[in-house]
Amino acid sequence: MKTDTPTAMLDAQDNASSNAGMWRLLIALGLLAFLIGLPLLSKNFFVFQLTLAMVYAIAILGLNLLTGFNGQFSLGHGAFYAIGAYTAAILMDQGGISYIWTIPAAGMICFVAGFLFGLPALRLEGTYLALATFALAVAMPQILKFSPLEHWTGGVQGIVILKPDAPFGLPISQDQWLYYFTLVTLILMFAFAYNLVGSRTGRAMKAIRDNPTAAKAMGINLSLFKSLTFGVSALYVGVAGALSAIVVQFVAPDSFTFALSVILFVGLVVGGVGWIPGAFFGALFILFVPHFAEGISKGLAGAVYGIMLILLIFIMPSGAAGLLKLLLDRFAIVRRLIEGLSGRKR
């Protein structure tokens, strides 16, 4: 049979791409089944850790939208995480509002806060923006401790909130319920991110990242889109913050220091900048590697962690995304070789 006529080749390509789509769907479904089944088979503490990992994944995704798709740096997203967490805690503690509604509220407040902070900040480029956001993150704990606000924020003490029970009398523990709640939020947020990046707005974001001058010439309103992206990114991080407040049951100024912003940033780079699923790898890294480092040496945990970080950057300068791409490329080369060989035999 002759297969190299143009139409046949197109068919083959079509087949291949639909095959790839099919594979992707299968992988996604398998992953989903795995994620749903996991908490039923593991201990409560592990379920709690996984929930936290998903919370981090949402936050890193938000940071990725800003850095990976719009080319702006932020070392201060811990501040928006704090705003989200405090919004949820104050609404639940003082407003008596159900935890479910605190999440969109935190998202909206952070969107506005991010948009407003982004408005002046978009005049800044690269390093300068990183610096302004760095200052924001460092100043955040002080603002939260500010005594005239103490009535709402609880000052240094912070706020303790109660863990919600599973609704409808479901026979699962609180931790398991929060796991599923976070999982649903996570899926919604990721779906939104995929659609956003693929949309007209997403293309505008990427155009600004790749060449601001050309983007401007094409009629893209730079300042509007940059602030909007900053707002959306803050929204994601705020939602993650609100979830973390509910999951951890506690907010206090000193949980939101500059270190938190740094942790999110490390997660972003480790996962891979500009690659949406990278958020998962980043989240797992920032959650489990510090424990691992502490296991190696208690006194030098920081040093072990830092050295691992340096090695990681040396081995895969562009994060998990780069490594995966490299592996796939190798795989493709091998496959092509095999195909070539078998083709010759035929």
Partner 1 sequence: MDLFIHQVLAGLATGAIYACMALAVVMIYQAIDHFNFAQGEMAMFSTFIAWQLMQWGFPYWAAFFVTIGISFAAGVLIERAIFRPIHDAPILSHVVIFIALFVIINSFAGFIWEFTIKAFPSPFGTKPVLGEGLLSAHDAGMMAVVGIVLLLLYGFFRYTRIGLAMRAAAANPDSAKLVGVRVGWMLALGWGMAAAIGAVAGMMIAPVVFLEPNMMLSILLYGFAGAVVGGLTSPVGAVLGGFSVGVVENLAGTFIPYFGSEMKLSIALALIVAVLMVRPSGIFGRKVVTRV
Give the C-alpha separation, 78 to 64, whole Å: 14
Cβ-contact 90, 148 below 8 angstroms: no
- For residues 75, 81, 86, 87, the Cα torsion angle rounded to the nearest 10 degrees is 120
Interacting span for partner 1 (CB under 8 A) from 40-48, 80-88, 131-139, 240-248 = 131-139
Q: Does 146 bind partner 1 (CB under 8 A)?
A: yes
Q: Does 213 bind partner 1 (CB under 8 A)?
A: yes
Q: Does 126 bind partner 1 (CB under 8 A)?
A: yes
Euclidean distance between the first and the last CA atom of the chain, given in angstroms as a whole number: 12
If the CB atoms of residues 40 and 214 are measured against partner 1, the closer one turns out to be 214
Q: Does 120 bind partner 1 (CB under 8 A)?
A: yes
Smallest distance from the beta carbon of 140 to partner 1, in angstroms?
A: 9
The residue within the footprint of partner 1, chosen from 20, 36, 139, 296 (CB under 8 A), is: 139
Q: Does 303 bind partner 1 (CB under 8 A)?
A: yes
Helices (H), the chain: 6-41, 44-70, 77-93, 99-121, 126-145, 150-153, 174-198, 200-210, 212-217, 222-248, 258-271, 278-296, 301-315, 319-345
If the CB atoms of residues 52 and 66 are measured against partner 1, the closer one turns out to be 66
Q: Does 156 bind partner 1 (CB under 8 A)?
A: no
| Sequential DSSP letters for 318-329 | THHHHHHHHHHH
Smallest distance from the beta carbon of 132 to partner 1, in angstroms?
A: 6
Site for partner 1 in 64-93 (CB under 8 A): 67, 73, 75
Smallest distance from the beta carbon of 172 to partner 1, in angstroms?
A: 38
Interacting span for partner 1 (CB under 8 A) from 85-93, 178-186, 258-266, 338-346 = 258-266
The residue within the footprint of partner 1, chosen from 172, 309, 323, 324 (CB under 8 A), is: 309
Torsion over CA: 97, 98, 102, 105 (sign)? negative
The residue within the footprint of partner 1, chosen from 269, 279, 284, 287 (CB under 8 A), is: 269
Q: Does 135 bind partner 1 (CB under 8 A)?
A: yes
The residue within the footprint of partner 1, chosen from 77, 145, 209, 226 (CB under 8 A), is: 145
Q: Does 310 bind partner 1 (CB under 8 A)?
A: yes
If the CB atoms of residues 150 and 165 are measured against partner 1, the closer one turns out to be 150
**Residues 314-324 as b or e (16 or more Cβ within 10 Å = b):** eebebbbbbbb
Q: Does 147 bind partner 1 (CB under 8 A)?
A: yes
The residue within the footprint of partner 1, chosen from 105, 178, 204, 266 (CB under 8 A), is: 266
Q: Does 273 bind partner 1 (CB under 8 A)?
A: yes
Sorted by sequence, the CB contacts under 8 Å of residue 251 that are 6+ apart come out as 82, 85, 86, 89, 158, 159, 161, 245
Residue 163 dihedral angles phi and psi, to the nearest 5°: -75, 130
Q: Does 306 bind partner 1 (CB under 8 A)?
A: yes
Torsion over CA: 309, 75, 232, 104 (sign)? positive
- What are the CA-CA distances from residue 208 to residues 40, 216, 228 (Å)? 45, 8, 12
Cβ-contact 237, 60 below 8 angstroms: no
If the CB atoms of residues 105 and 136 are measured against partner 1, the closer one turns out to be 136
If the CB atoms of residues 112 and 119 are measured against partner 1, the closer one turns out to be 119
Give the interface with partner 1 as residue ranges (CB under 8 A). Answer: 67, 73, 75, 120-121, 123-124, 126-128, 130-132, 134-136, 138-139, 142-143, 145-148, 213, 262, 265-266, 268-270, 273, 299-303, 305-307, 309-310, 313-314, 317-318
